[in-house]
Structures are given as structure tokens and as C-alpha cells.
Amino acid sequence: MSTAAWACTLGAILMWALFATLVRHVGSAPPLYLTGVALCCGSLASIYHWRQWRVPAPTYAFGAGCLFIYHVCLVAAFRYAPIAEANLVNYLWPMLIVILAARRTEGGLRPLQLLGCAIAFAGCALAIAPTTWSYAPMHLAGYTLAAVAALSWAVYSVGPRGLQADSSWATGGFCLGAGVLALLGHALFEAPYAPSIAEFGWIVAIGIGPLGMSFVLWNRAMRLGSASTIGSLSYLTPILSTLALAWAGAIPEGAWLRLGPALLLVIAGVRLTR
């Protein structure tokens, strides 16, 4: 991959890795409210390029719809199932990106690519997997929603060629559309919420970074780089996220013992998919 593709990929991953740590400062903001406000704020990251938000209606519906489905399904999954288990199911999306991208190439999916993705996923599982799984009906619904979220993000990342925006800055418009839909969901299904000034500041920070500029960088990376390599590299996200939480004192010290081997597995997986 080019240097620009690596830089954009790692930039997006670093922003996403800080998401959980930043959310800790938001307090008790309802999920749809937090997601809606953050996505609307995230659109400000590309407001200077608002003219490039103008895309055909099918492209806009595809982009905004995928972002909305991803966030709503993931939030609902965290409500219905244990977060650690649901989050691990959600991290099927890098592997799905590799599989979907392979369908668009003449050579198809190479065995080493699939092996690399499996090894990287093992690293992700080692870092964040729980010790036990629950299979209550509500939990199964949550796992299903997490899988739908993973698929929606993979589809958005690879995207049909005819529905890809001409500019990466068009993601700002997608964020705005998805944010408005999430706020509408908040108005319909959640109790009214008035954040403090500090909480609102953290929500804006989440929007500008993890739910704003990160999407622009990710879109750019998918245009410039190898989808298979980027997909495996994405497994750095849960590991770096765990590191950030541990650094903030939100994770037991024992978690550090899993992160070294997990990181080595992810790096090995990335090497195999190149």
C-alpha cells in the first residue's frame, strides 16, 4: 500500500480506538442521542468541503443508510447482549471486508488472505473476548444485531462501484443524514436528555474525531489501499482501544498480559494479507 493509504488507515484506527475512552466522560447520555449529536458534529469535520457533499440520491441513501444501520444495530446489540460478546461479533467486519473485496477482484480470495484474517481475528478475540457466553433469547438477538452491524460496515467500506461518492469529503453529508435519523429515533424512543456543558463538549469531541474525521480518512484509505490489508490492520482497533482504557484505569491490570500476544497475532495476520 502507499504511504498515504497507511497514514489514512492508521489515523482512522487511532481515532476509533479512543472512542470508548471518550464515551466514559459523557455520563448517562442515551445511545441514540449521543450517536445522533456526535454524527451531526462529525459532519462539521468536512463542512469546508460541503459542496462535495452533493452526490446522486442513491449514493447518499446508501452512505447515510449504512452509517445509520451500523450505529443503531451496534447500540441495540450493546443493549440486548453483553457488551464484550457483542463487540467481538461486531469485529467480524474486517474479515467481511476482505471477503467482499475479493469478490470484486479477478483473482478472488487467496487462502493466505483468509488465514491472515482468521489470525488477526484471533488476536482481537484474545484481547477482548469474555470467558463465558450467554445464549438467552435477548442475547441471541443482540448477537444477531451485532452481526448485521458488522455486515453493514463492510458493505459501506467496499461499496458497489456505482454508489461510491466521487470525493471522500462526501462522508460529511452521510454523517449528517445518519445523525438526523438517529436524533429522530431519540425523539421517538428515548427520554429527553439535557447534557451538561462538559458532557456536550465530550460529545462534540467524539463527533469531530471518532465519528467524523475518521470516516473521511477511512473512505480515503479504502480508495488508495488494499482492502484485504486494511481489513486485517483494522484488528488493531480493539487492541489499541483496550490499551487506551487500561491507560485510563478502566480495565484490570491483568488485561495487559493479553495485549502483547494479541498484538503479535494481529501483526502476523496483516502480513499474510498483504
pLDDT band at 10 (very low <50, low <70, confident <90, very high): very high
Q: What is the largest CA-CA distance in the chain?
A: 54
pLDDT band at 55 (very low <50, low <70, confident <90, very high): confident
Q: Which three cell numbers stand for residue 130?
A: 469474555
Q: What is the three-state SS of 219-239?
A: HHHHHHCCHHHHHHHCCHHHH
CA distance 31 to 149: 15
The pLDDT, as a whole number, for residue 165 is 63
Mean predicted confidence (pLDDT) in 64-88:
83
The model's pLDDT over 81-133, given as tens digits with 9 standing for 90+, comes to 877 677 778 888 887 887 887 766 656 667 877 788 788 888 877 776 666 66
Answer with the residue of higher pLDDT: 117 or 44.
Answer: 44
User: Look-up: residue for cell 446522486?
Assistant: 56
Q: Tell me the whole-structure pTM to 2 decimals.
A: 0.81
Q: Whose CA is closest to 89, among 119, 35, 128?
A: 128
The pLDDT, as a whole number, for residue 183 is 94
Burial of 108 (0-12, 13-18, 19+ CB in 10 A): exposed
Residues 6+ apart with CB under 8 A from 165: 52, 55, 59, 63, 171, 219
The model's pLDDT over 223-272, given as tens digits with 9 standing for 90+, comes to 888 887 887 788 788 778 777 777 777 666 666 677 778 778 877 877 77
Is the pLDDT score of 75 beyond 90? no
CA distance 245 to 17: 9
The pLDDT, as a whole number, for residue 81 is 80
The pLDDT, as a whole number, for residue 169 is 84
CA distance 101 to 96: 8
The model's pLDDT over 146-205, given as tens digits with 9 standing for 90+, comes to 899 989 999 988 876 666 666 778 888 999 999 999 999 999 988 999 889 999 999 999
pLDDT band at 14 (very low <50, low <70, confident <90, very high): very high
Q: Which three cell numbers stand for residue 8?
A: 489514512
CA distance 148 to 90: 8
**202, 11 contact by CB (below 8 A):** no
The pLDDT, as a whole number, for residue 134 is 64
The pLDDT, as a whole number, for residue 17 is 86
The pLDDT, as a whole number, for residue 107 is 62
The pLDDT, as a whole number, for residue 102 is 74
pLDDT band at 2 (very low <50, low <70, confident <90, very high): confident
CA distance 49 to 56: 17
Q: Whose CA is closest to 85, among 27, 48, 125?
A: 125
Q: Which three cell numbers stand for residue 92?
A: 467480524
